[in-house]
């Protein structure tokens, strides 16, 4: 299998997508921020001194999805048509679960935008809570599903 991001000299290149068909493309990514129970309780209660953790993390994730090509070198700038971030407070495992869904109609997918949204949301949660819990772990960032384009549908087996 040829690597699409390598040129004839063996160096990195941005893939030419000009001949690809424009299709509706969607990607969903997931991640977790593990933390102390007390930290999770304070997020739920809204008593973190920096403010509403999940609201700020949601905005950070959306902003990051729109700026993915600025921080991931071989990503194409994409006009995103939608980005949604959802959180689940999982008290059984002491973590905040993050899910990002990104959509576009274009010549390339939005997997990296969804993954970047999750990462930025997770890092924002860490930043807002680090004063009370420096042992948090931002983890489990993965693509859950994607649709559109030549390769069609991918769905991670859960």
Structural domains of the chain, ranges and CATH numbers in brackets: 23-149 (3.30.70.640)
The answer for residues whose C-beta is within 8 angstroms of residue 19's C-beta and 6 or more apart is none
* Percent of the chain residues topping a pLDDT of 90: 78
Q: What is the pLDDT of residues 80-122, one digit of tens each?
A: 999 999 999 999 999 999 999 999 999 899 999 999 999 999 9
Whether pLDDT at 16 is above 90: no
Q: Give the pLDDT confidence score for residue 2 in this predicted structure.
A: 66
Which of 17-21, 54-58, 74-78, 96-100 bottoms out in mean pLDDT, i.e. has the lowest? 17-21
Q: What is the pLDDT of residues 45-54, one digit of tens each?
A: 999 999 999 9
SS3 content of the chain, % helix, strand, coil (to 5): 30, 30, 40
Whether pLDDT at 3 is above 80: no
Q: Give the pLDDT confidence score for residue 10 in this predicted structure.
A: 83
Q: Which pLDDT band, with edges at 50, 70 and 90, does 13 fall under?
A: confident
Q: Give the pLDDT confidence score for residue 1 in this predicted structure.
A: 54
CA nearest neighbour of 72 among 131, 29, 113 = 113
> For residues 124 and 127, what is the distance between their CA atoms, to the nearest angstrom?
5
Q: Active-site residue numbers?
A: 127
N-terminal to C-terminal alpha carbon distance within the chain: 27
Q: What is the pLDDT of residues 60-76, one digit of tens each?
A: 999 999 999 999 998 99
Place of tokens 């980005």: 83
Q: What is the mean pLDDT of the chain?
A: 94
């Amino acid at each position: 299998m040829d690597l699409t991001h390598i040129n004839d000299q063996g160096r990195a290149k941005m893939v030419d997508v000009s001949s690809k068909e424009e299709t509706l493309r969607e990607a969903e990514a997931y991640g977790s921020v593990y933390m102390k129970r007390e930290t999770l309780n304070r997020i739920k209660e809204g008593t973190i001194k920096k403010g509403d953790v999940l609201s700020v993390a949601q905005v950070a994730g959306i902003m990051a999805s729109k700026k993915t090509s600025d921080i991931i070198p071989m990503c194409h700038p994409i006009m995103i048509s939608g980005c949604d971030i959802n959180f689940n407070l999982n008290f059984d495992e002491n973590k905040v679960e993050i899910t990002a869904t990104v959509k576009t109609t274009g010549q390339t997918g939005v997997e990296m935008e969804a993954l970047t949204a999750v990462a930025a949301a997770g890092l924002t949660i860490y930043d807002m809570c680090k004063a009370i819990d420096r042992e948090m772990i931002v983890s489990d960032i993965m693509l859950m599903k994607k649709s559109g384009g030549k390769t069609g549908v991918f769905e991670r087996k859960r």
